[in-house]
Structure 1
Amino acid sequence: MSAPAPPYAVVHVVVPAHDEQDLLPACLRSLRAATSQLRRHRPEVLTRVTVVADRCSDATAALTRAAGIDLVELDAGCVGRARQAGVRRATELAGPVAADRVWVANTDADTVVPRDWLLRQLALADTGHRMVVGTVRPDHLDLDPAVLRAWHRVHSLGEGHPYVHGANLGVSLAALHRVGGFAPVAVGEDVLLVRAVQRAGLPWCATATTEVTTSARRRSRVSGGFAGFLRDLHATDVTRPAPATGPEAVCGAPGRVEEERPRAV
């Protein structure tokens, strides 16, 4: 692994949202707890949260403003563009702080993060990792028990896991700039970013120590992604494991991007 980056001065959380008025409040509450925990243990690190409200027709933007959270409004209808708008906002607000001292933590508006989420990401970043790929667990309260058992049969959540989720992905701002950030695609922007960081030869890790909980709804905001994977799993014989996703499914437009099989370094 290369030498550790300079000490991080800023942690900026980016949350893309499309009509998420029902689930966003729980997400923001969890982020408030996570940023408070980070400030408590690392008071020298500035924390920020930006919600990117993309083509919202509900109260997502209003709820964000009411919570006192930084808001970017967008009319793209594209999660890749929404995430990249968050990266641009992190760059803008970083001001004179060097990009290699800014950590960008990505999650989703339908996701709840643990209190130590940012603290653990930053601890891994401090060791020299320029990207931290975390795990996602569906909310068991939203999921049929048989589907939940099937989900566990086809997932192995541990260190060096093979999964990629935009709902749990931390990257240094310098690494994002180096690889061109998130691709302007409607699905799979997270996998494409991970591949780009890998190709650039930057140190990274896949960990289960930063696990988040995501809504187990089966009606997806996009074609594909986590909700689509759960819907397909529900529709199959839940006594059999679902097939793993191959790289060829990542770039094809209706392909599933719920998981990738990167090799941690």
Structure 2
Amino acid sequence: MTSVAALAVVVPARDEERLLPACLDSLAFAVQSLTDARPTIACRVFVVLDSCVDGTADIVAGRRGVTAVPVAAGRVGAARAAGVEAAAEWARGVDPSRTWVASTDADTVVPPHWLTAQVALAADGHALVVGTVLPDPRDLTDHEHALWRERHVLGDGHEHVHGANLGFTLAAYRRVGGFPHLPVHEDVELVRALRASGVSWIAAGGVAAVTSGRREARAPHGFAAYLDGLGA
């Protein structure tokens, strides 16, 4: 059983001034829901500003409870890792096994129960929660959306891994060396390592997030590229 004492949300962002506000709005609701349910849990959001040249930093600066982590990583794996390290520094003094890290993306909107659900699953003994994502249907054609639904079973026990919807203890993360500094699939590699380490984990279908269906990729061969190939 893991009783969470501190929770950090890590969000990598690279020139995300258009989509980040909605992400942060959704996170504010999720944090408030967690605070209402579990007021003793300290919570903070960390946005990793990776080589941003637009107004992303200004958006972060105007948000309460949000810390900017400026880096020049150029790789989403390195950016996520930098965010986790900043979160670990913030939670210094808290048992790493009681420090929970929730991972999402700047183009993603999480549900209000996103954090409370992860904390509840941690209390059940899980050190890793693998959530699901849905592409924003406004960004897909009807045909692409139908193909997505055909190929993705999103209930409990699903087989998908997305950095836009993960949660894990800092202790488990450190034990496997953290996010590899890869340009893509850093989430898949971390989850593979965590599972191989023997931690208790769950692929949870009830913790879904909605992510952008844009085709301008931030990571090569990533989610945008997959969507672009639907029906090809």
Residue of structure 1 equivalent to 2:151: 154
Whole-Å separation in 2 of the counterparts to 1:135 and 1:95: 30
Residue of structure 2 equivalent to 1:120: 117
Residue of structure 2 equivalent to 1:20: 16
TM-score, length of structure 1 as denominator length? 0.86
Is 1:96 the equivalent of 2:86?
Answer: no
Q: How far did 1:198 drift? A: 1.0
Aligned residue for 2:229, secondary structure, equals helix
Residue of structure 1 equivalent to 2:128: 131
Residue of structure 2 equivalent to 1:51: 47
Which structure's CA Rg is the greater one?
Answer: 1
Tell me, which stretches of 5 or more residues in structure 1 are unaligned? 237-265
1:1-265 equivalence runs, <5 A: 4-5=1-2, 7-68=3-64, 69-234=66-231, 236=232
Q: Which runs of 4+ in 1 moved over 6 A?
A: none
Whole-Å separation in 1 of the counterparts to 2:88 and 2:153: 35
Whole-Å separation in 1 of the counterparts to 2:171 and 2:39: 22
Q: How far did 1:175 drift? A: 0.5
Structure with bigger RCO (C-alpha 8 Å, 6+ apart): 2
TM-score, length of structure 2 as denominator length? 0.98
Aligned residues: 231
Whole-Å separation in 1 of the counterparts to 2:28 and 2:228: 31
Aligned residue for 2:214, secondary structure, equals coil
Aligned residue for 1:184, secondary structure, equals coil
* Deviation readout 1:194-231 (Å, 9 max, x if unpaired): 01101111110001111000001112111111111000
Whole-Å separation in 2 of the counterparts to 1:67 and 1:29: 9
Cα RMSD (Å) of the superposition?
A: 0.8
Percent pairwise identity: 49
